[in-house]
Amino acid sequence: MGRYRPPQKPGSKYITPEGHASLTTELDNLWRKRRPAVTKALSEAAAEGDRSENAEYIYRKKELREIDSRVRFLRKRLENIVIVDNKPADTNKIYFGANITLEDDQSAEETSYRIVGPDETDAKKNHISMDSPLGKALLGKQLDDEIRVQTPKGEMCYFIVEIDYEN
């Protein structure tokens, strides 16, 4: 028996138009391409005989469960999501969708981030979730504000150098 884990608090329901298009494309790809291909492979594996020792059959069943689980999640998520596609009235403050440049207090190194919803977080693109500690610390701040964020390396201090709402 596993350890009890309380249910996770659902992430914010906001998403950019690009993120919505990405999730919709993923759902369409899973439902129209991957699932039929896996179903066909599963039926071919099932036709081979004894299913209890058929590794291909077992693998395809597991893959089909994973696809169905992701499809259910995406459908439910897309149903309740709010697309944010306009700039805020006050573009001098940080809100959802902002592109921010931060300067590290210690190294004076600059890093750019974009505040996005939890479904489109991507470290390679420097897209951070508005639910992350850094995202929460940034929301509502303005140019030249100092923010402090607790990280695994300890407390970090940043200065807001630039705020932009262009994609």
Q: Which of 31, 29, 61 is nearest to 43 (CA)?
A: 61
Looking at the chain, the whole-number percentage of residues with pLDDT higher than 90 is: 63
Residue 114's pLDDT band, with cuts at 50, 70 and 90, is very high
Average pLDDT, the chain: 90
- Among candidate residues 58, 83, 108, the one where a domain is terminated: 83
Query: How far is residue 141's CA from residue 82's CA, in Å, rounded to a whole number?
Result: 23
CA–CA gap between residue 27 and residue 14 (Å, rounded) = 18
Residue 9 has pLDDT above 90, yes or no: no
Do 72 and 115 belong together in one domain? no
Q: 34 and 78 in one domain?
A: yes
Closest CA to 34 of 59, 64, 57, 77: 64
With a cut of 90, say whether residue 112 has pLDDT above it. Answer: yes
- Tell me the whole-structure pTM to 2 decimals: 0.81
